[in-house]
Structure 1
Amino acid sequence: MISAFANSMKVPELRRRILFTLAMIVVVRLGVQIPLPGIDVMELQKVIEASANASGPGAGLATVLTIFSGGGLQQCGIFALGIMPYISASIMTQLLSAVVPQWAKMVREEGGRQKMTKWTRAIAIVIALVQGWFLVGTLEHPERLQAVGLNIPADCQLVIDPGIQFALMTVLIMVAGTMFLMWIGDQITERGVGNGVSLIISVNIIHALPGAVTLAWKTLVYKDGAVVPMGAMLLVALIAFLIVVVALVVTVTQAQRRIPVQYAKRVMGNKMFNGATQYLPLKLNYSGVMPVIFATAILSLPQVLFSQIAHYNTTLQWIATKMNDWLNPASSGYYIISGLMIFFFSYFWVATMFQPSQIAEDLKRNGGYIPGIRPGPPTALFLDQTMQRLTFAGSAFLTLIYFLPSLLNIGGNIPYLVTQFFGGTSLLILVGVLLDMMRQVETTLLSRNYDGFLKKGKLKGKYGHIQGTGAAAGSRTVTVMWIVIALLVLAGAIAYNAMQ
């Protein structure tokens, strides 16, 4: 594996793709750290500390916001909305393509995916405008966050000069930041390594890892100025447990049910082709991490929405309070609702993306059949039943991993910021994105006669048909990008030292 990483820098095209991807990641993180104009940085630190020490439903909401904004929302950066509007728009377009016949027909037509992408981006702009306007109201009135369980100081004033000018300027900047993140995601997908949007989410998750490690050390091992032996043993046990969980996630992500397909002898022109046996791979976790992302996004929406409008009357305040009780990660209702949503979206994704009738028709047209199954509708029924069983097993595993952070946090001995890396959305996204990136790099290495990451077999990815479709960035472009980034970092360091 180490030699594969070394060989990846020997292929010029792959090296440029890797350097281009790293440059885009640096740009994303720089945008998170640049604060919005008109924000009081000193008051902002109080809100950051309140969200970091949150518990209950506030902790769950703060974790979701951290995942998709990478700390940009807590830092009030120009990328405060993150990639969340695009994720929400993707959910809406997927639902529309499943329930609206015109949308389903458009997807199947030639160029339908491109039209769907345009609609998704347009809807994302509308969602970003609405979320940006709500966020401006929160910045001007941070006490509204108390409705979702965050302990915000009553005298906190984040905005130096509130008003309509600040609102319009801030909304415009945040929407532009979200559009820029979408463009970066597309550029990474075409000219870099991996799926751009998923990689941005992964980078936003990883940014919290150093803080989680430090918090775990202070909470479990070095507490109140003294070393706790039992805490050290608990930390070692958690690390070992994390390794086991990651291994299970990788195994389930890569697991497949291989359906044998037999092809009859065919005569094409003057040549006769003997029949051969191939395999139709059906993934155990066909939908990937999308059901968890959908469930997380939808469950966080009521809390955010009612936190914005609860101050208008007592009825809305009562609804916001009840909403926090229902969506509390420690309540049984939260487990039931989120579990049902994960199962629903898993089957919904399979029903939308997996077409057994089309697969059966293609096999019949090419002279292929599944041994013991008649071609045509019986083959489609067999594939549909097999996928239904696989989806149930994959959904059950996703639900278990999704609940794992909350189960580890029973009793409140381990901070929620630490347990989120032991399962849930964070771990599933990180593992899936890393596997897809390694698969793309391995494919390029094998095509250039280099060894891959594994001695036996190949990595199986999900986005292979859309990654690396564009030409790699030129050497001059990559060099100029890194020079500009270095100058920006140097200017930021100088400005920071001047402020001290």
Structure 2
Amino acid sequence: MRYTKHGAITTLSYWQGKYKVIRNISALKNLFKIKELKQKVFFTLMILVIYRLGTHIPVPFIDRAELSKFAETQKAASGLFQTISLFSGRNFEQMSVFALGIMPYISVSIILQVLGVVIPRLQKLQREGSLGQAKINRWTRMGTVALAAFQGFGLGIYLMNQNLTYMNTASLASLFLFTTVVTMTAGCTFIMWLGERITDKGIGNGISLIIAVGIMARYPGDFSSLCNQIFADAVPMIWLPVIIVLFVLSVIAIALVQEGTRRIPIQHAKRMVGRKVMGGGTSYLPLKINTAGVIPVIFSSALLSFPSFLAAYVFGSSQNGGWLGDLVATESSYNVYAFCQRVFGLEQGGIFLLLKSLNFHIIVFALLTGFFCFFYTSVVFNPDDVANNLKRSGSYIPGKRPGKPTSEYIDYVLTRISTVGAVFLVCIAVLSMIMMVSFRMPFSGMSFVGGTGLIIVVGVLLDTLRQIEAQLMMRHYDGFAQKRVGATWR
């Protein structure tokens, strides 16, 4: 241990660091001391293993050699292909029975939530608690099966148009379409069932965990592909440390924003109960900077994948994904930034290429992500309800009258911090897309730099860790996080 003129502070920091490590090790031990919690963790892991095993079951009658060549072409040519493949955990590239992933379920959930704003009956169901939610869940399952069948039919047509099946003759086409629709629908329904089982009997949100595991399954292959391209001089060596640094910074930034809160002081009124004075004191109303969590990027990606699926895999036949693929083409005749071209391998165009080529995929994705940040925040947090609850309990925000003024103030603060969270989420989500277009980088390298996948993985892992923490604290065990005392961390 080293002492300086601030030796006492150095010593304190040293022992605090050792205490944090010991605390986390102790929390891991406690995790396996509690029988019920241990069962939940093992059940979740077992379901995720089953999901990953299912990704290796192929759709029947697919020419695997031609599919492999086609997937490589699409990865290089189409960002839409990457969006769909990202959420299926590479099942789409391998054309397994899980190729549709969980996207039909998410798409139907979005539709019902949006309709809940304008249809009074859905609004009433959303407010009825568990009974209303059970009916909405039933409608979601039915819609998922229907949408999965529709997308499976369109995918079957596309596979035949691209000569990726052994059954291209007219007499066998109907059998292939029927087989594809049945296997795709069954696969999507099974994934939905697995996710619900995790939510009911495991740890974490099942659907989100399945998406996150699928994304993480891509990382080893993407890193290996990036290294191969660097060793083959297809990508400059300088990009390896740059990507590693950007990856670490992105993870830290996402974690800070996901966990960041704005605390509004709440004053509790004193009450006389018999001869005793009850209540009083001050507490805080925590408002998360990113109240919507990872839902906006999941929703926007799901919403983009559906019309992209129609355009690229039903109506279009080009390698770039039909007419929508042509809109996001990135060819340009500019020749700028010679220095960056030498150092980073920047090809013609650079940032001007991004601005010149009207990249609708990035623009629409950014707008949808920002919209869903505010939309989902309004769904999960109602300032009027919070203000009414404070008023009924005799609590108030200092300097604000109870009732409507309190509600307006909470809404004002929530809007401001949600704007910060939305801007951050959009910037991180489109960072990898912008770098891919500007620097002509492969997806395998940019998947580690921000992007939708990294936001989802970090957000889901934090949410799962938070649920484990709550289970430990409920049983009077130390958790992973530090305990709060008042407004500071201990």
Name which of 100, 105, 112 aligns with 2:132.
112
Does the 8 Å CA contact 1:66/1:205 hold for their aligned counterparts? no
- Inter-partner Cα distance in structure 2 for 1:409 and 1:308: 23
3-state SS in 1 of match to 2:286: strand
3-state SS in 1 of match to 2:293: coil
- Inter-partner Cα distance in structure 2 for 1:266 and 1:112: 37
Could you tell me which residue of structure 2 aligns to residue 70 of structure 1?
Answer: 89
Deviation readout 1:367-407 (Å, 9 max, x if unpaired): 11100000001111111111111111111001100111023
Aligned partner letter, 2:184: M
Identity percentage of aligned residues: 40
Flag structure 1 segments of 5+ consecutive residues without an equivalent.
143-154, 459-500
Name which of 397, 418, 431 aligns with 1:404.
431
Could you tell me which residue of structure 2 aligns to residue 138 of structure 1?
Answer: 158
- Inter-partner Cα distance in structure 1 for 2:358 and 2:246: 25
Does the 8 Å CA contact 1:310/1:320 hold for their aligned counterparts? no
1:90 CA displacement:
0.8
Q: Say whether 1:28 aligns with 2:51.
A: yes
Could you tell me which residue of structure 2 aligns to residue 243 of structure 1?
Answer: 248
Could you tell me which residue of structure 2 aligns to residue 179 of structure 1?
Answer: 189
Name which of 146, 158, 170 aligns with 1:126.
146
- Inter-partner Cα distance in structure 1 for 2:312 and 2:180: 20
1:270 CA displacement:
6.6
1:328 CA displacement:
5.2
Aligned partner letter, 1:415: P
Q: Say whether 1:215 aligns with 2:225.
A: yes
Scaled by the length of structure 2, what TM-score is found? 0.82
Structure number with greater CO (CA < 8 Å, separation at least 6) is 1
- Inter-partner Cα distance in structure 1 for 2:443 and 2:233: 20
Q: 1:250 to 1:158 in 2, by over 3 A?
A: farther
Aligned partner letter, 1:350: T
Deviation readout 1:85-129 (Å, 9 max, x if unpaired): 001011101101112122112211242122211111111111111
1:450 CA displacement:
3.4
Following superposition of structure 1 onto structure 2, how do residues 18-57 of structure 1 map, counting pairs within 5 Å?
A: 18-52=41-75, 54-55=76-77
Flag structure 2 segments of 5+ consecutive residues without an equivalent.
1-23, 331-353, 486-490
Does the 8 Å CA contact 1:184/1:196 hold for their aligned counterparts? yes
Q: 1:196 to 1:311 in 2, by over 3 A?
A: closer
Deviation readout 1:282-338 (Å, 9 max, x if unpaired): 1111111222222222233333212344369xxxx9x97553244458444434333
Q: Say whether 1:258 aligns with 2:263.
A: yes
Following superposition of structure 1 onto structure 2, how do residues 439-458 of structure 1 map, counting pairs within 5 Å?
A: 439-457=466-484
Q: Say whether 1:386 aligns with 2:413.
A: yes
Could you tell me which residue of structure 2 aligns to residue 476 of structure 1?
Answer: none
Does the 8 Å CA contact 2:155/2:314 hold for their aligned counterparts? no
Q: Say whether 1:94 aligns with 2:113.
A: yes
Alignment coverage as a number of residue pairs: 432
- Inter-partner Cα distance in structure 2 for 1:121 and 1:163: 29
Name which of 296, 301, 314 aligns with 1:296.
301
Scaled by the length of structure 1, what TM-score is found? 0.81
Could you tell me which residue of structure 2 aligns to residue 347 of structure 1?
Answer: 374
Q: Say whether 1:375 aligns with 2:402.
A: yes
1:263 CA displacement:
1.2
Does the 8 Å CA contact 1:38/1:160 hold for their aligned counterparts? no
3-state SS in 2 of match to 1:37: coil
Aligned partner letter, 1:169: T
Aligned partner letter, 2:37: L
3-state SS in 2 of match to 1:215: helix
- Inter-partner Cα distance in structure 2 for 1:278 and 1:238: 42
Aligned partner letter, 1:262: Q
1:271 CA displacement:
5.0
Give RMSD over aligned pairs: 2.5
Q: 1:126 to 1:157 in 2, by over 3 A?
A: closer
Aligned partner letter, 1:30: L
